[in-house]
């Protein structure tokens, strides 16, 4: 019984701590609007808040959510176009007042989950920038989906494509006399 109590108390304390963080009166976030546009596309628009970093989530079943491959930052109007051939398609805005972010470049190059991969690398290749291990396959940085011997951390450092077998060490130059 005691461990359960301890666990519960710790959980409550953590929630209280998190709530305390959130209570710092963050500026209200105007809602995202999704309007039909021409050729069966949709316009997703929202007003940004200064100092805030934005991600977009999308889903086809309201259960599994994926990151859209872009990041936005700061105040002003943010206007994106969306097209999907899914029967059902949902989007939602995800934002954070992560400290130390002063512009879009900061937001893209930052590493919110501290796994060694930048936020923009993670959303571009379909990972969660707030989770060290977005998939059941292990930490995002250690994955090598193109099986070229370079994990994501190495691909990011070398600037190679993590979805193509482009390991420069594997490319042999053949010279024929």
Partner 1 sequence: MRLHILLMSAACLSFLLQQSLAQEVRSAPATTFAKLPASVVSVDKSYKEPRPPAVKPDFQIESTQVKLVDVVESPPMFGLPSVEGTIRLKVHSVADPGLPEPERAFSARFPQPDFSDNPEFLERLAQLEKEQEQNLFVSVSATVFDRNRTRLTCRPLGDGNSHSPAIAWSNIDFNDFRGFGSFKAVGVGGEKRSYQLMMFVGNEDTEQRRAWAAAHRIKWDKPEIPILTKGAPAFIIVSQDPDPASVKLIEDLHALYRDQGKEMAEIAVAREKAYQEKKAYLLANPPKPKDVTVHFWKRENATAVRAK
Site residues, partner 1 (CB under 8 A): 35, 37-41, 43, 45, 56, 58, 60-61, 64, 66, 68-70, 76-77, 79-87, 89, 124-126, 163
Least distance to partner 1, CB of residue 117, Å? 14
Q: Which is nearer to partner 1, 26 or 144 (CB)?
A: 144
If phi > 0 it is left, if psi is from -120 to 50 it is alpha, else beta; for residue 115 that is alpha
Handedness of CA 126, 124, 152, 145 (dihedral sign): positive
Least distance to partner 1, CB of residue 60, Å? 6
Q: Which is nearer to partner 1, 39 or 171 (CB)?
A: 39
Least distance to partner 1, CB of residue 56, Å? 8
Beta bridge partners of 42: 36, 82
Q: How far apart are CA 121 and CA 20, in angstroms?
A: 31
Q: Which is nearer to partner 1, 9 or 31 (CB)?
A: 31
Residues 69-91: b if buried by 16+ CB within 10 A, e if exposed: eebbbbeeebebeeeeeeeeeeb
Q: Which is nearer to partner 1, 25 or 39 (CB)?
A: 39
């Amino acid at each position: 019984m005691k461990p359960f109590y301890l666990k519960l108390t710790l959980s409550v304390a953590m929630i209280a701590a998190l709530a305390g963080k959130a209570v710092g009166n963050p500026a209200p976030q105007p809602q995202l609007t999704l309007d039909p546009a021409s050729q069966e596309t949709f316009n997703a628009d929202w007003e940004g808040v200064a100092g805030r970093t934005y991600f977009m989530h999308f889903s086809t079943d309201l259960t599994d959510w994926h990151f859209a491959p872009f990041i936005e930052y700061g105040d002003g109007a943010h206007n994106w176009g969306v097209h999907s051939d899914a029967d059902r398609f949902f989007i939602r805005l995800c934002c954070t007042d992560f400290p130390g972010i002063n512009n879009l470049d900061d937001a893209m190059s930052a590493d919110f989950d501290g796994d060694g991969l930048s936020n923009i690398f993670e959303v571009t290749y379909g990972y969660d920038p707030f989770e060290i291990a977005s998939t059941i396959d292990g930490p995002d940085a250690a994955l090598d989906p193109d099986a070229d011997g370079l994990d994501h951390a190495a691909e990011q450092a070398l600037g190679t494509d993590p979805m193509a077998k482009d390991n420069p060490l594997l490319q042999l130059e053949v010279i024929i006399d």
